[in-house]
Structure 1
């Protein structure tokens, strides 16, 4: 099977321009938990990189774990309840936003722009209050891709667990999966911290209040991305131990809202819900071609990681849709 998968990938990637091909950092394919293809280009298995908005799926997973251990009570809790110290800057509409709406990006909060940039709040000295002060600017109940919502989820997890999100994630998710985050850097998410971020092997930047950024910039290895997909494929278990509640895996990867033509059909709890070759699938997607896609019927986990990290390189390189089409149109039909 491995040789066949490798041949298909070689053919598919062969259509890329020299420039685009150079942007592919890693391609991993696991079937039934077994690696059948592992390829690194201008990179190594131990090299980490910014997984971009795949971070959102990690944050969503932590919400599920926090609900299971009692740190959070229910998906119906409101922002007014969850972040009471910021209640003074919330309008009644914002205070009534429910945890479920943040997870499905239907709260009507600040939406990312088409070029993937976020609102002015990220330039402020208080991300959370910047988001809350901006208020409801969209249509509640309608999907609008929102990094603001994901960062609020991070703030909620931090407050509910009385720990940094990185510490909580390390104990509850990363260490159980064998992802070693000890000594991970937590630079401030500003341009001046770029050198520290680039130098660190593992990193998860923070806002000015020390809250790990919920929408992106987590640094992981491609194999760590594959572990995230595998634990979801295996209903939340890893090496016989329940890491993520099985019910959360089911709910998080169920489409709760239509998203239109944005690389998927529906959106779950910080996971995109789609199909691949006619089979149900779900994915964690990140800027520039970071992809973790799971096709349960085929026991398939696919990871693409790229060097793409600027708008200019995105414009010249292959899109997320290209990588998703490789999974749907080439890999899935190859498998029994």
Structure 2
């Protein structure tokens, strides 16, 4: 009897774990404007339900779509700050764009000129890598780094095997060192700058500096990782900022030229069936979504800000990586699943003349 009771409780726990995040959207106070209905905005409620059913089958914990500057759909808890993982890199990229235009950062400076080293030390060839090489993940410095996944460690090339600027390897060493360089060159703190230069200006509703931290893993590298916990609806604002070419209201927050450069392919990514790489942004260069101009900020386990300029869409997808099935197994949504969900949403757009849309 005890064993039977145990398995009943275990089964109940699994069901709750799998479904707790697929309840109706959390309605909270917000300054976002909403479309009155999908049909009013030119979308099919029936087809969006197909996308919702697929979303409910995944490990997703939140999703949002912004169309024409307003919320089209909001699923899950979109106001909960969770680990953004590698989306943090696109946040930092935007700060580099601001500082470069102001003349505070020179992308051609080398690690040697910037007095960047590590433990164990870099060699002279590695020190010839430039800031631009780091932004495109082509530094040629294949040093251990903090926040590395098992795949990163497995795929890391041998040190000294490639010249700076000649080989793409998705490299947390490059990304973490960019944080060190930014703080040194600006004599400021990247979290505080992000708060003042971006979060406050675009009206992020949940972001606070208490949700940021530097993470040291000194056994791997002296350069810390910079971690953000951000909500889906604040990620949507950041995506909308880029969809609007760096402009918010009447203010050009991120230089238009930087938005264009950073979201254009700068490095070929071998083995990726969809993306190449920009300045810490993923840029679709293959498949049907590339024809729509897709570019993405992507993080581990299924975090993303996917921007589709040709459809005037920002799609945000979240998986709360602190939630685990049975307390052991990491929740995750892979690239194919996330992009299939995005495609199902895009399929819900009604391609009707404006006069017919207005009559709906």
TM-score range relative to shorter protein? 0.7 to 0.9
Count of residue correspondences: 297
Note the aligned Cα RMSD (angstroms). 3.2
**SS across alignment from 1:79:** coil
Quote how far apart the aligned CAs of 1:167 are. 1.4
Offset from partner CA, 1:242-288 (integer Å, 9 cap, x none): 11010000000001121133363311000000152731210001111
Q: Report what 1:108 is aligned to.
A: 140
Quote how far apart the aligned CAs of 1:70 are. 2.0
- Would the aligned equivalents of 1:106 and 1:142 in 2 still touch at CA under 8 Å? yes
Quote how far apart the aligned CAs of 1:10 are. 3.0
Quote how far apart the aligned CAs of 1:103 are. 0.8
Pair 290,71 (structure 1): closer, same or farther in 2 beyond 3 Å = same
Quote how far apart the aligned CAs of 1:290 are. 0.6
Query: Does 1:99 pair with 2:108?
Result: no
Q: Which has the larger radius of gyration?
A: 2
Pair 144,208 (structure 1): closer, same or farther in 2 beyond 3 Å = closer
- Would the aligned equivalents of 1:283 and 1:293 in 2 still touch at CA under 8 Å? yes
- Would the aligned equivalents of 2:207 and 2:231 in 1 still touch at CA under 8 Å? no
Distance 2:294 2:269 in 1: 15
Q: Report what 1:305 is aligned to.
A: 318
Pair 326,15 (structure 1): closer, same or farther in 2 beyond 3 Å = closer
Q: Report what 2:213 is aligned to.
A: 204
Q: TM-score, normalised by structure 1?
A: 0.77
Alignment of 1:148-159 (within 5 A): 148-159=173-184
Query: Does 1:30 pair with 2:40?
Result: no
Q: Report what 2:49 is aligned to.
A: 10
Pair 288,39 (structure 1): closer, same or farther in 2 beyond 3 Å = same
**SS across alignment from 2:314:** strand
Is there any run of 5+ residues in structure 1 with no aligned partner, and where? 120-133, 186-201
Alignment of 1:1-336 (within 5 A): 2=38, 4=43, 7-15=46-54, 21=58, 23-40=59-76, 43=77, 45-73=78-106, 75-83=107-115, 89-110=121-142, 115-116=150-151, 136=160, 138=162, 140=164, 141-179=166-204, 184-185=209-210, 202-207=211-216, 213-214=225-226, 217-262=227-272, 264-274=274-284, 276=289, 278-308=291-321, 313=329, 317-328=332-343, 330-331=345-346, 334=349, 336=351
Is there any run of 5+ residues in structure 2 with no aligned partner, and where? 1-36, 352-360
